Amino acid sequence: MDFRSDTVTKPTEEMRQAMATAQVGDDVYGEDPTVNRLEELAAEKLGKEAALFVTSGTQGNQVAVLTHCRAGDEVLLEAESHIFLYEGGAASALAGVQTRPLAGNRGAMDPIQVKKALRGEDIHYPYSGLICLENTHNKSGGKIVPLENMRAIYEIAREKQVPVHLDGARLFNAAVGIDQPVTAFTQYADTVQVCLSKGLSAPIGSVLAGSKSFIREARKWRKRLGGGLRQVGVIAAPGIIALERMVERLAEDHVHARMLAEGLAAIQGLKVAIEGVETNIVLCDIKGTNLSNEEFLERLKAEQVLAVPFDEGIIRFVTHREITESAVHNALKGIQKALK
């Protein structure tokens, strides 16, 4: 019962078949028909002119930063965003940009603060090169950043002619969560990165989407990073299945996350803000058990339940295709036993 992340999902049988029979060519020459189909499909689904297949969410986000910005630019982002917290400082190391984190509320930055933080013309200042948003927001527990918040920030950005990039690693969870097409979100971003290898269950890859001219330049940055790949139709094929057939299924993960949250909240010493569980991530406060994160996770592991530490006294559980309703019940029984 592996709740560490939705990244642990394995490819479906259909994906494996598609990999075995995928038509391939040299993608650096633009000749892999399966990659081309995936990129066209992703652009269409995300409501953008073009898309680029990249190896990971991190690569997609970093190619976006590199393409939008020049060294010395400033990137505005939320203080607990993945790009700021969990990408090894790549934006500074690779693009040479300065990141400027703004405090968020459930993953959402305050548009007024964003407006204030955008730089005016002054010889001392860096240029404001990019604003990054994240939806769903991982660190706050899979929260859906409201469309209205995204719209307000996008309007300010357009006024100041600063581009907006959306880290939509789990954007389809957000769309399914509010029963809207994914374009309801992407209309408020110039570029978007979506992971195929999380809840959508593909074994690898993300797509980065934007205008044709942006994607042309992004392709060059991907090449510079050593991401120009060859007969990659074999790994793009499951990505097509991910986009065509795995999206609606995410609703099940959200139901299972709620179930898990309710079950955890009923266990002595554990606290969960159940109403805050909007998608497939559950944050559990374990401080009432008087166990350290390590001790708690060790005890769970002995009952075959895996999760990850997020903050001191906070453990993250993520539901996904391989966590069935009975897995949730069994995990809850195991956790109860582990804490006796």
**CB 116 to ligand TLP: min, Å:** 25
Q: How far apart are CA 158 and CA 211, in angstroms?
A: 15
Q: At what angle do helices 57-68 and 212-224 cross, to 10 degrees?
A: 110
Q: How far apart are CA 133 and CA 190, in angstroms?
A: 11
Tell me the CA distances in angstroms from 204 to 15, 60, 96, 145, 284, one per residue in order. 11, 12, 27, 26, 28
**CB 309 to ligand TLP: min, Å:** 11
Does the protein bind ligand TLP through residue 82 (CB under 6 A)?
yes
**CB 167 to ligand TLP: min, Å:** 5
Does the protein bind ligand TLP through residue 5 (CB under 6 A)?
yes
What is the helix (H) or strand (E) element at residue 29, kind and residue range? Answer: none
**CB 148 to ligand TLP: min, Å:** 21
Q: Which residue is nearest to ligand TLP (CB)?
A: 57
Does the protein bind ligand TLP through residue 169 (CB under 6 A)?
yes
- Report yes or no: 68 and 204 within 8 Å, Cβ to Cβ: no
Does the protein bind ligand TLP through residue 278 (CB under 6 A)?
no
Count of residues of this chain found to bind ligand TLP when the rule CB under 6 A is applied: 14
Question: Can you tell me which of 27, 73, 167, 278 binds ligand TLP, judged by CB under 6 A?
Answer: 167
Report residue 119 CA to chain centroid gap: 28
Opening angle at CA 88, ends 165 and 187, nearest 5: 10
* DSSP strand pairing (74-78 vs 128-134): parallel
Does the protein bind ligand TLP through residue 293 (CB under 6 A)?
no
34-42, 54-62, 91-99, 270-278 -> range binding ligand TLP (CB under 6 A): 54-62
**CB 185 to ligand TLP: min, Å:** 14
Question: Can you tell me which of 22, 38, 45, 58 binds ligand TLP, judged by CB under 6 A?
Answer: 58
- Report yes or no: 272 and 284 within 8 Å, Cβ to Cβ: yes
42-50, 55-63, 236-244, 246-254 -> range binding ligand TLP (CB under 6 A): 55-63
12-20, 52-60, 124-132, 271-279 -> range binding ligand TLP (CB under 6 A): 52-60
Q: Which is nearer to ligand TLP, 5 or 34 (CB)?
A: 5
Q: How far apart are CA 193 and CA 82, in angstroms?
A: 12
Does the protein bind ligand TLP through residue 280 (CB under 6 A)?
no
**CB 268 to ligand TLP: min, Å:** 28
Question: Can you tell me which of 35, 195, 202, 272 binds ligand TLP, judged by CB under 6 A?
Answer: 195
Q: How far apart are CA 96 and CA 93, in angstroms?
A: 6
- Report yes or no: 78 and 139 within 8 Å, Cβ to Cβ: no
Structure tokens at 129: 């090169």
Q: Which is nearer to ligand TLP, 34 or 140 (CB)?
A: 140
Partners of 75 in the β-ladder? 99, 130
For residue 29, count CB atoms less than 10 angstroms from its CB and return exposed for 0-12, middle for 13-18, buried for 19 or more: exposed
Does the protein bind ligand TLP through residue 57 (CB under 6 A)?
yes
Does the protein bind ligand TLP through residue 201 (CB under 6 A)?
no
Q: Which is nearer to ligand TLP, 108 or 267 (CB)?
A: 108
Overall residue count recorded for the chain in this entry: 340
> Phi/psi at 204 (nearest 5 deg)?
-160, 155
**CB 192 to ligand TLP: min, Å:** 11
Q: How far apart are CA 27 and CA 39, in angstroms?
A: 12
Q: Which of residues 99-158 bind ligand TLP (CB under 6 A)?
A: 134, 138
Name the site residues for ligand TLP (rule: CB under 6 A). 5, 7, 56-58, 61, 82, 86, 134, 138, 167, 169, 195, 206
